[in-house]
A = this chain, B = another copy of it.
Amino acid sequence: MTAREAVETLLAGRPRTPAVPFAESYAPANIALAKYWGKRDEALNLPTASSLSISLGDLGSHVRLAPAPEGAPTDTITLNGAPLSPDTPFARRASAYFDLFRPSPSFRFDLQARNTIPTAAGFASSASGFAALAKAADALFGWNLPRQSLSILARLGSGSAARSLADGFVEWHAGERSDGMDSFATPLPDRWPALRIGACVLSSAEKPVGSRDGMRRSVRTCPFYSSWPDLVARDIATLHDAIAARDIALLGATAESNCLAMHSLMMATRPPILYFLPETLTAIRAVWAARADGLPVWFTMDAGPNLKLLFESSSESSVRALFPTATIVSPFA
């Protein structure tokens, strides 16, 4: 099934032309505690395994979506106040996404997107961006889609965007269907006000390998890949226990192990994918040394060299002293 066909299924019986002059929406960024690494269907962004994330509150993406003036030759896209040329990667990706529900081939969109994620914080913005876009399209056309369908619609733009439709803890169910209609995210009811996330930016250099290519290479060549889905399933079960008990040690240890297992998969991929930089190892060892000294802090890492710290508010001043430049987020504030 193509992404376009999946959207047709989602939108069956819904309006196909704009219902209002414009629509605005917001979605938070998220970081995975049990990671997404590998697709079972690349066209539909269907994952080989479920994943579990925490949304980042008011760090995310605001978008305003409207029809472009009639006769516009291309979609017009503005990011953080700056108009983007149609051949930039972001503009091409947005336009390809619009193709999934463009009312007619000549219809053009006007998109204004603004990220509240500090560029230097090292959080990905594609998840919040496509989640906000899915919500804005829903409002613009008056689809009134249920949240599960919105999660699917966001997933078709970027896999992890499926998880950015809700605040707090969110689980993206891998699903089993080939059309992906059972692969959406649902929020967990638990709130954990003391939870903190610290983003340590160690390098802003571009990734040597993008996530999409990296995932494909791991699925195809990593000799350990077949063990990954079961591992993630076990980690998600443990994370549920940790969240229910507000057990930061269990949450942190599970997220840290899961992230190291993902980076192990990457490193055993042929040719290898190694996101670690020397600074990454220095920071990892600093976290381990602090923990050995009694500070309850753990880390996770995405497909890049930067660490995200996991801790509770009672440790905030110590963590701040250890990593003075970290951006600290309160996901439940």
Mark A residues whose CB is within 8 Å of B.
223-224, 226-227, 230-231, 257, 260-261, 263-265, 267-268, 270-272, 274, 276-282, 284
Contacts and interface: CB of A to CB of B under 8 A. Distances in A.
A227 B231 contact: no
A230 B265 CA distance: 16
Given A264-B264, A265-B264, A267-B264, A282 B278 contact: yes
Given A227-B224, A284-B274, A261 B257 contact: no
Contact of A272 (B223, B257, B270, B277): B257
Given A223-B230, A264-B268, A267-B267, 14 more contacts: A223-B227, A223-B231, A224-B224, A224-B261, A224-B264, A224-B265, A226-B227, A257-B272, A260-B268, A274-B284, A276-B281, A277-B281, A278-B278, A278-B282
B257 A270 contact: yes
Nearest to A270: B257
A263 B270 CA distance: 14
5 contacts: A223-B230, A224-B224, A257-B272, A264-B264, A278-B281
A269 to B, nearest CB: 9
Nearest to A268: B264
Contacts of A284: 274
A260 B272 contact: yes
A233 to B, nearest CB: 11
Nearest to A277: B281
A231 B260 CA distance: 20
Nearest to A288: B274
Contacts of A279: 278
Nearest to A263: B267
Name, among A260, A274, A277, A284, the residue most crowded by chain B CB atoms within 10 Å (CB to CB): A260
A273 to B, nearest CB: 10
A86 to B, nearest CB: 33
A280 to B, nearest CB: 8
A281 B268 CA distance: 15
A271 B280 CA distance: 18
Nearest to A283: B278
A186 B274 CA distance: 35
Nearest to A305: B281
Name, among A268, A278, A284, the residue most crowded by chain B CB atoms within 10 Å (CB to CB): A268
Contacts of A267: 260-261, 263-264, 267
Name, among A224, A231, A272, A279, the residue most crowded by chain B CB atoms within 10 Å (CB to CB): A224
Contacts of A260: 267-268, 272, 274
Nearest to A272: B260
A271 B272 CA distance: 23
A80 B227 CA distance: 47
A107 to B, nearest CB: 45
Nearest to A224: B224
